Structure 1
Amino acid sequence: MTRTSWHPASLQLLSLSLLLCSSFLSPMLVDAAAGTADGSEKWGYVEVRPKAHMFWWHYRSPQRVDNGSTPWPTVLWLQGGPGGSGVAIGNFQEIGPLDTDLKPRNSTWLQVADLLFVDNPVATGYSFVEDESALVKTDWEAAADLTTLLKKLYNRNESLQKSPLFIVAESYGGKFAVTTALSILKAIKAGKLKLNFGGVALGDSWISPEDFVLSWGPLLLDVSRLDKKDSEKSNILSQKIRQEIAKGQYSDATNSWGDLEAFISSSSNGVDFYNFLLDYGRDAVTSMSTVKVSRKLSMINYKTYLTSKASSSGGISGFMNGVIRKKLKIIPKNVSWGGQSGLVFSYFSNDFMKPRINEVDELLSLGINVTIYNGQVDLICATKGTEAWVQKLKWKGLNNFNSLERKPLYCDGEEAGTTKGFLKSYQNLHFYWILGAGHFVPVDQPCVSLKMIADITHSPAVSSS
């Protein structure tokens, strides 16, 4: 999730956005695709609407097995922001086959599923628009574009059609996940999309902004990061946001959210919104030399939070605009990775604080598998807030879900026998509590994350290993 231009503190990004608006890209391609000689990777563009081009990258797992009964799954990874690049962050910094040193990732999710990364919404990452009018403003508009992309990829590909698709999302991507899932189901029912839909997984997802901001003051008081006085001030600001959301004043709520983050950052001496046990920039994946605590701390920095993982010159931007661009070959000459991403968040200013609890409820009522997973020490999408919005579900199975005991989760190896998390499941709702993880669960707890995604997707790799 990323903070941008409408707030007074964001004048620098506003200037950048205005510069980009004055030099939109000229038309250059409709659909284009390429891939490796062995077919293990494919990538390309789909023109999802006139002048709106979305980039995708598909990996076929070398561990694919066919046991005759359980089909090999595909994971569609949706990044947060809005404006975070799944092709870069999710792929090279979280779950893809290679890291930003181009070394194999031992914990890649490719071991248990095929992977599909998309730079969503348009203008994110390698995706681009030729004109500002082609940018989207809502979760539903983004879902429509993703559905169009999936129609292009799936409707003429029987191999993809046989592989159940699971949407796995992080942060703001959770809102995209639930709207896209409903859009996909509608298209399937109408006979416009040939796709076997497996379910959604919402990782530290911004489903109910109200419940998250209300959780910050009490949580930070409990862990001694705020004192009683400042926690109470945080609660007052949170209640203001709650009232603005109730009145449908979503842009005002977004600005008030920025004020609340600024207050918490100052009062806590720069707590890390992605791991409340740390100061911002003091963990293994950030660089203090490039980070300054500001009112736009968590969302503005979402796209670059893991950047110090990229050891190539220029960080993740240099990596994507250098060696990866050369590999892909089809990126238009006047398109740079991230060149328009600064615009994306600003166009979502009125949708950013809207909840998507009703969409989760609708998926559950339709019998779709919904998995929720949360990192224990995340603040921005704190487990405390996630648990609060889950209790607002109207789903008829909620009381039975609440009455169940959690099951402990473990991993093999050096930490065998150490509790790594908990799981509670009832019918088609599944909740994973991942211990020791912040906002980026696959980075902080790769072993249990891999076991979790194998379970979610019913991967044949588990039974064959």
Structure 2
Amino acid sequence: MKSTLPQNFLKLLLILPFLHHLPPISSTTSTPLLPNEALPAKSGYLRVNSTTNSSIFYAFYEAQTPNSPLSQTPLLIWLQGGPGCSSMVGNFYELGPWRVSHKQNVEHIMLEPNSGSWNRLFGLLFLDNPIGVGFSIASTPEEIPRNQHTVAKHLFAAITSFVALDSSFKSRPIYFTGESYAGKYVPAIGYYILKKNSQLPASKRVNLAGVAIGNGLTDPITQVATHAVNAYFSGLINEKQKTQLEKLQSEAVVLTKNGSWTKASDARNGLLDLLQTMTGLATLYDFRRLIPYETSFVATFLQHPDVKKSLGVNESMVYEECSDVVGTALHEDVMKSVKYMVEYLVKNSKVLLYQGQCDLRDGVVSTEAWVKKMKWEGIGKFMEAERKVWRVNGELAGYVQKWGSLSHAVVLGAGHLVPTDQAVNSQAMIEDWVLERGVFANEQLEKLSLDFHGVI
């Protein structure tokens, strides 16, 4: 096995000057940092290249209270965005069964149960994707993906290896989920699986049932052109500022059309930087927040040797919340669209698109802008479908529009990290979508049921 110590030692040197700014983790408490009840059912590494050590780190949590036999219980797979950010953020800050907590009058980080975890009814698998992210291993920088095809190829290798760990996994329906830049990863692996399955015998196929994308960057050329109008009608900029932003948006669109991928990505970054300067917001990810999301506590927690040991990670590994190396490798990929992959998926699977209402980067307006351009025979009926009021436990949770295999949910009171902001409502959303209940019920079946009751 080729050692990754030199790369990790360099990472350590880079972060040491900043560690004293982070809250300490108490090692004197009698309670373990990662107690037995918070341990994943399985965690470790899934090799993506048979000739090298490159591997994707995973953490799997079985369903807490499944409502079907385990061999039929759905598996949700979560991918973080970035590009280059670790799915352990999703695990310990968003939708996993335990969340990292740090309170002002407490000197150490701890774990607290998450009442809105996504593994209540389903199995939940977190993958540090692509290789080089989080605890995942890239044997050489050259192996880090530069495009979505390579990302999907690695993910396919990882998921087939994971399914082989337990014979009961083979029959379980699989749903890929994720947010932000996973608006590309999720369609990419879904598309890859469907294409690959058509070439494989039934015994070797991946049992893909659907994909869910939260606050996703999916069709950048369309989405980049929505920031000015979104901020303007939110009352955050005036008309002069709107005109300035629209000029930068047009430049990003032209560069994208010309295939000037690096310059187009830079133009988008410049546009978003200017928008943040104009608005003075703490973060564009949620215009309500007075401080950005406090995800750095996850990195502090995962740096502890005891936590690494419990997860099956070498103590010499230096955990980074987001990898600049991976982000740089995918920089030219940022403005490339995967809308055609979503179009293929919605014809051959089922798709959920959801956004937190308060996200100014990849929110509702930017998603609706590309959805209406989809090349899908059902798009007309979807656009005409009723946008239903969605309630959870009797309280207003948002709005859902659905037709056929496509569902779109707007989550009220949430920003970019929907499960963080609305844990219970996001849990209800994913469960009802997978099980096709409530506002996510199949319209045709619901109508047949109503007609049947009418006859009686």
TM-score between the two structures when normalised by the length of structure 1: 0.80
1:126 maps to a residue whose letter is: F
1:364-401 superposed Cα distances (whole Å, 9 cap, x missing partner):
22x21011111111111021110010011010001111
2 CA distance for matches of 1:391 and 1:222? 20
- For the residue of structure 2 that corresponds to 1:56, the secondary structure is strand
- The aligned counterpart of 2:213 is 202
Matched, 1:232 2:214: no
Superposition pairs of residues 217-228 of structure 1, within 5 angstroms: 217-228=228-239
Q: Bigger relative contact order, structure 1 or 2, given CA contacts below 8 A and separation 6+?
A: 1
Q: Secondary structure at the match of 2:226?
A: helix
**Counterpart Cα distance in 1 of 2:65 and 2:274:** 48
**In structure 1, distance between residues paired with 2:40 and 2:197:** 27
Contact 1:226/1:267 (<8 A) preserved: yes
- Is contact 1:154-1:194 (8 Å) kept? no
Q: Which residue of 1 aligns with 2:21?
A: none
Indicate the residue corresponding to 1:301 in structure 2.
none
Distance 1:213 1:351, change over 3 A: same
Matched positions, count? 399
Q: Assess if the C-alpha contact under 8 Å between 1:275 and 1:438 holds in 2.
A: yes
Aligned to 1:215: 226
- From 388, 399, 410, the equivalent of 2:369 is 388
- Decide whether the 8 Å contact of 1:46 with 1:55 is kept in 2: yes
| AA partner of residue 451 (structure 1) | A
- From the superposition, tell whether residues 333 and 204 of structure 1 become closer, same or farther in structure 2 (CA, over 3 Å): same
1:373 aligns with 2:350: no
Question: What CA deviation, in whole Å up to 9, does each residue of 1:74-109 have, x standing for no partner?
Answer: 1000100011111x2111111111111222111111
- Choose which of 318, 322, 339 in structure 2 pairs with 1:336: 318
Instruction: Answer yes or no: is 1:61 the counterpart of 2:26.
Output: no
- Give the match for residue 275 of structure 1: 286
Q: Secondary structure at the match of 2:175?
A: strand
What is the match of residue 327 of structure 1? Answer: 310
* Aligned-partner Cα distance in 2 for 1:37–1:230: 52
Aligned to 1:166: 175
The alpha carbon displacement at 1:46 in A equals 1.8
The 1:350–1:21 alpha-carbon spacing in structure 2 relative to 1, beyond 3 Å, is farther
1:317 equivalent in alignment to 2:307: no
1:400 aligned to which of 373, 381, 389: 381
Match of 1:82 in 2: 83
Q: Is the 8 A contact 1:73 1:459 kept in 2?
A: no
Instruction: Name which of 125, 128, 131 aligns with 2:134.
Output: 125
Determine if the alignment matches structure 1 residue 249 to structure 2 residue 260: yes
Contact 1:48 1:145 in 2 (8 A): yes
CA contact 1:60–1:115 (8 Å) conserved in 2: yes
Instruction: Report if the CA contact (8 A) 2:99-2:114 is conserved.
Output: yes
The residue aligned with 2:294 is 306
Any idea what the Cα deviations from partners look like across 1:100-149, whole Å, max 9, x if unmatched? 12221111111121100000000100002122122111111111000001
Cα pair 2:80 2:89 within 8 Å, conserved? yes
In the alignment, which residue of structure 2 is the partner of 1:346?
Answer: 328
TM superposition shift of 1:440: 0.8
Query: What amino acid is aligned across from residue 220 of structure 1 in structure 2?
Result: A
Instruction: Measure the CA separation in 1 of the matches of 2:39 and 2:284.
Output: 40
Task: Assess, with a 3 A threshold, how the Cα gap between structure 1 residues 395 and 332 changes in structure 2: closer, same or farther.
Answer: same
Rounded to whole Å, the distance in 2 between the matches of 1:38 and 1:18 is: 29
Secondary structure of 1:109 counterpart: coil
Give the Cα separation in 2 of the matches to 1:204 and 1:153: 27
Displacement, 1:52?
1.4
Unaligned runs of 5+ in 2: 1-6, 15-35, 101-109, 441-456
Counterpart for residue 266 of structure 1: 277
The percent identity for this pair of structures is: 27
**Secondary structure in 1 matching 2:334:** coil
1:339 deviates by: 8.4
Unaligned segments of structure 1, at least 5 residues: 1-15, 24-35, 287-304, 309-314
CA distance in 1, matches of 2:269, 2:420: 26
Kept in 1: contact 2:308–2:314 (CA 8 A): no
Paired residue secondary structure (2:337): coil
CA gap of 1:146–1:108, structure 2 versus 1, over 3 A, is: same
Does 2:135 correspond to 1:135? no
Preserved contact between residue 112 and residue 459 of structure 1 (Cα < 8 Å): no
Q: How far apart are residue 67 of structure 1 and its match?
A: 6.3
Q: Is the 8 A contact 2:8 2:318 kept in 1?
A: no
TM-score where L is the length of structure 2: 0.81
> Structure 1 residues 18 and 132 mapped into 2: Cα distance closer, same or farther (>3 Å)?
farther
Q: Does structure 2 conserve the Cα–Cα contact (< 8 Å) formed by 1:72 and 1:459? A: no
- Residue 403 of structure 2 is aligned to residue 426 of structure 1: yes
Go from structure 1 to structure 2 and tell me whether the alpha carbon gap of 1:132 and 1:457 turns closer, same or farther (over 3 Å shift): same
Partner of 1:299: none
Stretch moving more, 180-189 or 334-343: 334-343
Query: Counterparts of 1:406 and 1:203 in 2: how far apart (Å)?
Result: 18
